[in-house]
Amino acid sequence: MVRRAVLDVFIMHSVEQGLVARYVILCEGISYASGIRAGISHILCQTGNRALPELADAVAEGQRDKVVKASMLCGDCFEAAIAFERTQIAGYIGLAHAYAMIGRRDKSDEYAERGLLLLAEVRDTSTAKAIESGASDIIPPDIHDQMERLLRTCLEH
């Protein structure tokens, strides 16, 4: 039942945010399912990240309707991103920050802690070790340190 709900909001936000065209382009360039899932997860995190400043502004201005709309977009996008790719640490970071903005410290801490546990697991892979050694021209070698700092920031009250 939960997967169905995630799929429903994924479809709704994908249409509303104009993401379907981006998925089509992604699918044309990748021929394997895990790559497509990871790509969709990345697009969803980008969409959630674009909504975070809107959420912060709405909270600061006390605009309840906008807070609800922006927090739903953030939550739905980050949750779907994680559903598509469970190692999408950006999804955990986004959820932790969104929940912190709306005063849900319990949920913020939960996602920050889950993200840190997953990050420890990811850091132990050969791919992560290659990235940290500077083998990638695209991904900065300190990306995992950056993620850890963002997650730990959420745990600091």
Spatial separation of the C-alpha atoms in residues 61 and 23, rounded to whole Å: 34
The token pair that represents 34 in the structure block: 């895990």
pLDDT of residue 76: 93
pLDDT of residue 1: 46
pLDDT of residue 108: 97
DSSP the chain: -HHHHHHHHHHHHHHHTT-HHHHHHHHHH--SHHHHHHHHHHHHHHHHHHHHHHHHHHHHHT-HHHHHHHHHHHHHHHHHHHHH-TT-HHHHHHHHHHHHHTT-HHHHHHHHHHHHHHHHHHHTSHHHHHHHTT--SSS-TTHHHHHHHHHHHHH--
Each residue's pLDDT tens digit, 93-133 = 999 999 999 999 999 999 999 999 999 999 998 888 888 89
Residue with tokens 């697991």: 121
pLDDT value at 144 more than 90: yes
